[in-house]
Amino acid sequence: MSWNDITSLESRFSAEQPDRIQREKLLYEVRTNGFIDNYEGIRIAKGGHRFQIKNATVWNLFDSDGEYYGQAAMFSDWRFI
């Protein structure tokens, strides 16, 4: 998968329809608390492959002026399902 493929998928499409409510709850918690640790869930890649992530950290991003820019996630524990 190219860098463009990874960065051009809108994150809301990385969760299948039934999982989008759980995803919204996660993002609300991150917005409220600044980050969340040990998140796990099922996601779908741009090409349609489903995968499970574990032990993810999700945090808020701010630019150099302190303006909210979005959220980022990091995980290394994952597997295709």
Least confident of 2-11, 23-32, 41-50: 2-11
Mean pLDDT, to the nearest integer, of 38-66? 90
Residue 3 has a pLDDT of: 67
Can you list the domains of the chain with their CATH numbers?
A: 3-80 (3.30.450.20)
Pairing of strands 50-62, 68-74: antiparallel
Strands 35-44 and 77-80: unpaired
Radius of gyration in angstroms for the set of CA atoms belonging to the chain, rounded to a whole number: 13
Q: Which two tokens stand for residue 26?
A: 């996660």
Q: Is residue 4's pLDDT more than 80?
A: no
The model carries a pTM of 0.74
- Of 45, 38, 52, 48, the C-alpha closest to 14 is 45
Confirm if 51 and 79 have CB atoms less than 8 A apart. yes
